[in-house]
Amino acid sequence: MHIFSELQEIENAIKKGFANARKSLAMMLHAEVELTDLEEITYQDLRLKQSYHTYYIFETHIVGEKTGISFWLIGQPEFDLICQRILGNSYSQEKQNELSRSLLLELDNILSASVITELANELNLKIHGDIPRISTHTDEQILAIIKQHCQENPKMHLWLARFVIASIPIEMLFIWLF
């Protein structure tokens, strides 16, 4: 396979995967979700549109014939919005706090799988996502983490997708090494 055609297949898979992720997110949130940006960028061009003191970062490693990493970044407002939309007011605050992280880890699993499945199908690869992890970082720490991954793997392609729900940007950053 020529490099150009493989890059085109990757781009097609990324676009289909994020379209599927958008549909899944809209269904789970019972809201209109718009995919406002989807582009391949370099880590030097990466800018986070929102600036929060702390971000939640959901990290899913892609394993198999090709490897990569999926990062989903959200601030506290997005975290709260998503949990409220899915959990509603059915639970006590204590129970809602307990369920929130598990809920968003599962949501990350679904969103990442949307893209990973399309990559596997389009490129005929045996790949899957590992168990997602959640951590919190400042925006400077996040940029440093991504820069480190890109410098360690100079052939890494960095894709950035931004979803908007009720005018609150939710960023999902996808990185794939091939």
Q: What is the pLDDT of residue 176?
A: 64
Sorted by sequence, the CB contacts under 8 Å of residue 31 that are 6+ apart come out as 85, 165, 166
Is the confidence at residue 48, as pLDDT, over 80? no
Least confident of 17-21, 22-26, 44-48, 148-152: 44-48
- Report the chain's mean pLDDT, rounded to a whole number: 86
Looking at residue 55, what is its pLDDT? 87
**Tokens representing 172?**
């999902």
In this predicted structure, what is the pLDDT of residue 82? 87
Lowest mean pLDDT among 21-30, 34-43, 140-149: 34-43
CB 70 within 8 A of CB 115: yes
